[in-house]
Amino acid sequence: MRTALVTGSSGGIGGALCARLRADGLRVISLDISGDCDIRADLRSDPLPEHLMSEVDVCVSNAAITDTIAPAHRMTDEQWRTDVDVNLTGAFRVIRACLPGMRERRWGRVIAISSGAARLGLSGQAAYAASKAGLHGLIRTLAIESREHGITANCVLPGMVATPAVLKMPQGVLDRVLAGMPMGRMAKPAEVAALVAFLASEDAGYITAQEISIDGGLGLNPVSLGSAK
């Protein structure tokens, strides 16, 4: 039985990831800073249990801070550091802890949950977008370093996902978000989990160093020079 680690496991996407991987027959170790989880840790600084990290075959780095809102010209050093320390440095620390066991067994899957903001930017969230974009360089480098050890490394880039936290946003904000969705809806957490589950599978062994969006076509050019009928 393969063992998967999911960080940020208490959130909407994290919960869906744990449920799907368990349904696929993996043993899942959940990690979060709070909530019902197997490991409670702050990825910025807390030590990670080596005996558990060494058993991980599938590392899903999902933990992130998403609620730092400030335009770049007013963003404080502390706001910047918090997002980068959790979203990028925290991801690196947990992935690094899992790599020795994967390399020894010559099999592994590293999947980092990035964001569409890493490609498109996001007004008011420069630190978040930059931290998620940083994952892309990290994952590409891991793919190079791990290619001879049976380890793949990929990024998944969700757009807006209908998690409980997102659905609690003011209705006016939700209306603006939905108006910009080409498919007229947000992603379901289970849809993100299904993509991650495939990348974690044996069948995905030839997919590495990829940045795979799951955003319903967000960013498509809606301009038309003629009738679509």
Q: SS3 for 61-125, per residue?
A: ECCCCCCCCECHHHCCHHHHHHHHHHHHHHHHHHHHHHHHHHHHHCCEEEEEECCCHHHHCCCCE
The single residue of 9, 31, 59, 128 carrying the catalytic annotation is 128
Active site residue 206: no
Question: Reduced to 3 states, what is the DSSP secondary structure of residue 218?
Answer: coil
Cα–Cα–Cα angle for 186, 21, 99, rounded to 5 degrees: 105
**Location of structure tokens 């936290």:** 165
Which string of DSSP letters, residue by residue, matches 153-183?
EEEEEE-SB--HHHHTS-HHHHHHHHHT-TT
Cα separation, 74 vs 150, whole angstroms: 45
> What backbone torsions phi and psi does residue 66 show, to the nearest 5 degrees?
-120, -5
Q: Which residues are marked as active site?
A: 128
